[in-house]
């Protein structure tokens, strides 16, 4: 007689660290729990304690990616989990919707002997030099009166020399219309990604490209998202917080999965082969005095405190645009000081395994 078996904790795709068990150089010992009507259950060969319809046992993870198999007779349930060995508090600062500073550089290159003669990049270099911050700029292909074909390669060596702390990647073709990838197909994402990243390689070099990005509005159907994975993207940043019963910035995930992602630093979807990284805070949505309390709330659990993604948008820096926020640089400094004072290490999510070894 077959008996249904289901592992309920951890969940398939979980990224586990020392907060989920007992870590040693040999492995991470975790508690596995589940449901079964069977009188005996093993997980990876370890006999479980079975009480009524529940089972549990402790299993050691010894590899980065490990399959957990709950079994009774011929009936089994398998999930894959990831061991984030040596995980530590770490953060990244990303900026979406970038094109205006590139327009400045591309249309008046003689004004800028160095990239960092431009006030915008000068500010981000200041954040790096003061706090060690690593900065990731997601960029558009075009805006009014400018596209990336006009971006010269005169600063290519300078981009390459700064790649240790400054990355560029694809965001979208352009800013409008809103939510361009909500119903995208594979070929649309492939075209736009190749267009943007082809020019990044030309004017800045492969060194600045990343395996991480955020699509415009953090949306993309599952059928189309493979275009990013096929082009080397491994991590996607999303805003999985549910507000007023909805989440429209969680790619193709339903409400239940968005809520789960928002309780974790990162989660892996085996169907698409992508890690989804939780955005901790969209800094431009807060007043300066709200940032610290907000970050305290958003990092209140062991599973939300380990990886911090800070996000802002270029248009809030631009005095000529209606979006401009006079306090935007103060907001950035406040958020960075918060992580810096708490010992968070600046990383890229493409460094090692999600910013750790």
- The token duo for 120 is 């915008």
Element (H, E) at 61: strand 54-61
To the question of pTM greater than 0.75 for the whole model, the response is yes
Question: Taking residues 204-212, what's their average pLDDT?
Answer: 98
- For 108, other C-beta atoms within 10 Å of its C-beta total 10
pLDDT over 70 at 216, yes or no: yes
pLDDT in tens, 245-285: 999 999 999 999 999 999 999 999 999 999 999 999 999 99
Identify the structural domains of the chain with CATH numbers, from first to last. Answer: 5-83 (2.60.40.10), 90-346 (3.20.110.20)
**Would the pLDDT of 186 be above 70?**
yes
Arithmetic mean of pLDDT, 202-229: 98
Q: Which helix (H) or strand (E) covers residue 137, if one does? A: strand 135-140
Vertex 300: Cα angle to 295 and 305 (nearest 5): 75
Q: Please say whether the beta carbons of 206 and 157 come within 8 A.
A: no
The residue assigned the tokens 């949505």 is: 285
Helix residue ranges per DSSP H, the chain: 100-107, 119-131, 156-161, 186-204, 222-229, 255-261, 288-298, 302-305, 328-341
Query: Cβ neighbours of residue 105 under 8 Å, at least 6 residues apart?
Result: 112, 115, 118, 151, 152, 155
Q: What is the C-alpha end-to-end distance of the chain, expressed in Å?
A: 45
Give DSSP secondary structure letters for 238-255: E----BTTB-SSSTT--H
Q: Are 25 and 86 in contact (CB under 8 A)?
A: no
CB 317 within 8 A of CB 328: yes
**pLDDT reading at 2 higher than 50:** no
> What pLDDT does residue 1 have?
37
Query: Quick one: average pLDDT of 223-233?
Result: 98
Condensed to tens digits (0 to 9), the pLDDT of residues 62-119 reads: 999 999 999 999 999 999 999 999 999 999 999 999 999 999 999 999 999 999 999 9
Would you state the pLDDT for residue 357?
80
Distance CA 199, CA 284 (A): 28
Question: What percent of the chain has pLDDT above 70?
Answer: 99
Check: CB of residue 251 under 8 Å from CB of residue 213.
no
Quote the pLDDT of residue 3.
54
């Amino acid at each position: 007689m077959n008996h249904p078996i289901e592992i309920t904790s951890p969940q398939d795709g979980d990224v586990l660290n020392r907060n989920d068990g007992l870590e040693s150089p040999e492995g991470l010992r975790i508690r596995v729990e589940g449901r079964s009507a069977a009188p005996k259950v093993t997980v990876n060969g370890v006999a479980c304690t079975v009480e009524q319809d529940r089972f549990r046992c402790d299993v050691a993870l010894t590899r980065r990616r490990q399959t957990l198999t709950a079994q009774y007779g011929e009936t089994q349930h398998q999930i894959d989990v990831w061991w984030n060995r040596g995980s530590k508090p770490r953060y990244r600062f990303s900026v979406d919707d970038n094109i205006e500073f590139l327009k400045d550089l591309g249309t008046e290159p003689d004004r800028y002997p160095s990239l960092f003669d431009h006030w915008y990049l000068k500010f981000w270099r200041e954040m790096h030099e003061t706090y060690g911050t690593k900065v990731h700029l997601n960029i558009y292909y075009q805006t009014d009166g400018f596209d990336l074909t006009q971006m010269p390669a005169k600063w290519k060596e300078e981009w390459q020399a700064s790649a240790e702390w400054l990355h560029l990647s694809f965001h979208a073709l352009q800013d409008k219309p809103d939510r361009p990838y909500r119903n995208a197909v594979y070929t649309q994402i492939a075209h736009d990604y190749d267009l943007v990243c082809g020019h990044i390689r030309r004017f800045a070099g492969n060194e600045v490209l990343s395996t991480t990005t955020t699509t415009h509005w953090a949306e993309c159907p599952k059928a189309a998202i493979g275009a990013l994975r096929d082009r080397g993207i491994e991590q996607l940043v999303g805003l999985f917080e549910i507000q007023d019963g909805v989440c429209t910035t969680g790619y193709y995930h339903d409400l239940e999965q968005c809520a789960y992602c928002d309780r974790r630093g990162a989660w892996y979807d085996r169907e698409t082969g992508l890690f989804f990284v939780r955005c901790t805070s969209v800094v431009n949505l807060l007043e300066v005095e709200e940032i610290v309390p907000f970050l305290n709330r958003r990092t209140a659990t062991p599973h939300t405190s380990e990886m911090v993604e800070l996000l802002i948008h270029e248009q809030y820096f631009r005095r000529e645009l209606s979006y401009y926020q006079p306090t935007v640089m103060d907001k950035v400094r406040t958020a960075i000081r918060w992580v810096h004072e708490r010992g968070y290490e600046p990383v890229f999510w493409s460094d090692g395994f999600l910013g750790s070894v």
